[in-house]
Structure 1
Amino acid sequence: MYNPTRRSKNIGTENQGYGQSNKLTIPSPHGNVKSFYERLTHYQKEIRIINNHEFVFAVEETRDNSIHSCSVDDIQKIIEQIPSEDYGELRFIILRQPKRKEEILSPVWGRLIYSYEFEEEYFPAIILDAIDLNKKLSWSRKQSIEDQQEFERLKEDGHLFIETKRNFTTELKPEIVKNTQLYRTLPHEFGHYVHYLEIVERTEDDHDDYDKREQRMDYYFSLPKSEKEKFAHTYAKRLKDRFTIENKNNGKKIG
């Protein structure tokens, strides 16, 4: 794979589409070039070999009333069922505690970072954010088609929404959030990475030069968000359907 240390500084930043409409900003300490999601504190590191591939887990300590809905063991069981050829060079799995301002400005279940700096190494990473059990999930009544589709997925995960004048709200329950993050967000982020692999990496041959690879990368990052989301949702649904069938055959219930 292309040397990840020569990463584009735009990958995963607001120039790629994150936070462009935010008037407020997430502060960065003076002299610290790391992105906010790379600045971990008080974490435990664990290495797991899954299908002969090394994954490095970093589990950040949570605040009071916040939890990681998935354990390292939970995540390993899902990754074991993902085709190993889809791992690429993805190495880091980060369970992080977002700062309070981040929860306001950049709330997510998880995210894929194409080049993530951890302990002076650069590799692709999937991040799953801790959730604050004191907060409620709010969903606007004014919904785009994509919003409606995601709203239905959340209800399928088990979230029970109450309708108000302006929006729909639901309390965050650990097991239901686990359904969302473990069985849908994690495969969804793998889906984004597989999409990247198919366009940028898997078309590569020994005679490709740097410029050709840069062109493929530019093409991938220029794709409409809707196209990338469709690919990732399709990938995640296909995996979840397979998990459901396999667990049903084993007498287990999923999601």
Structure 2
Amino acid sequence: MFNPLRRNRNIGTKKQGHGQANKLTIPRSPDLKGFYERLGNYTKHEVAINGNELLFVVEETRSDSQHACSIEDITTLIEHITPEDCKGLKFIILRQPKRKENILSPVWGRLMYSYEFEKNYGPAIILEAADYTKPLKWARSLALNDQKEINRLKEDGHPFVDDGRSLTAELTPEHVRNTQLYRSLPHEIGHYVHYLTVVERPGNEDEGYDAWDQRWGLYRSIPASEREEFAHRYATQLKNKLTEMQIIPFTTKIRESHSDTENP
């Protein structure tokens, strides 16, 4: 017999749907922009590097965050990279990630093959501001690739401490700069070089779109592990070369004159 006083055992549980409406997710934009294309207040800086015109976009940071690399830092590094490896690169975005993005999609940097900025499209490298109030945490039980990344971070200077439950490092602008400038930026350029090698460089002006699209499909079919290995190898070789030439490390560059424009 039905008893209205009897409590449904599913009340308040996932089976009933409890909590399914408040899952932590990155909101979608109605204009179809990716979350990394939605910027707050920013300034624009046009810089010519080795014959390539780059637009730097610097988003305003929160009080707990900071961009570890200056425009001059990035410019100095790119000046010592083969110009052909950066040909066609259009934007360098210094971005302030939202708090949800820091939780759900944390990265030092990312390459976007087509980035929309003020109705213009082109390849972009994004370097994200770090939140210095939150430590960097890794589980003690690590897969092989994660162990390699921990070793790279230690080489960057991050002082990991084993507290018995996790590996923790307090973030500092100096160590984040080491990671982003000497490793993340070359790593993303490595991805871009891989893309150029497979997709853009084999093409010619007389070919149709289908030929380009076929090469793009071929590039996208390369396993992510192989693409990561290519980028890691490029970044490591570049870092070793510039270190041997005594170009890196270098102290933070002081900002000079740029053509600056603020967003409306």
TM-score interval, smaller chain: 0.7 to 0.9
Q: Does 1:26 align with 2:31?
A: no
Matched residue of 1:198: which SS?
helix
CA contact under 8 A between 1:243 and 1:254: conserved in structure 2?
A: no
Conserved 8 A contact 1:114-1:125: yes
- SS of the aligned residue for 1:34 comes to coil
Describe the superposition over 1:130-149 as per-residue Cα deviations: whole angstroms up to 9, x where unpaired: 00110100111121111111
What code does the residue aligned with 1:120 have? K
Aligned-residue CA RMSD (Å): 1.5
What SS is found at the alignment partner of 1:247?
A: coil
TM-score, normalised by the number of residues in structure 2: 0.83
Alpha-carbon offset, residue 32 of structure 1: 2.0
Q: Residue type of the partner of 2:230?
A: F
Question: Which SS does the other structure have where 2:26 is aligned?
Answer: coil
Structure 1 residues 206 and 46, CA gap change in structure 2 (3 angstroms): closer
Give 5+ residue unaligned stretches, structure 1.
1-22
Aligned twin of 1:241? 240
| Aligned length in residues | 229
Report how far residue 162 of structure 1 moved: 0.6
- Tell me, in whole angstroms, the C-alpha distance in 2 between the residues paired with 1:81 and 1:54: 15
- SS of 1:139's equivalent? strand
Measure how far apart 1:207 and its partner are: 4.6
Matches within 5 A, 1:44-193: 44-193=43-192
Does residue 198 (structure 1) correspond to residue 201 (structure 2)? The answer is no
Matches within 5 A, 1:203-214: 203-214=202-213
What TM-score do you get using the length of structure 1 for normalisation? 0.86
In structure 2, distance between residues paired with 1:42 and 1:171: 28
What is the DSSP-based 3-state SS (H/G/I as helix, E as strand, rest coil) of the residue aligned with 2:97? coil
Structure 1 position 215 matched with structure 2 position 186:
no
In structure 2, stretches of 5+ residues that fail to align are 1-22, 252-264
Q: Which amino acid aligns with 2:64?
A: N
State the identity %.
Answer: 56
Counterpart residue identity of residue 223, structure 1: I
Question: How far 1:206 sits from its partner (Å)?
Answer: 4.2
SS of equivalent residue, structure 1 residue 124: strand
Indicate if the aligned counterparts of 2:24 and 2:100 stay in contact, CA closer than 8 A: no
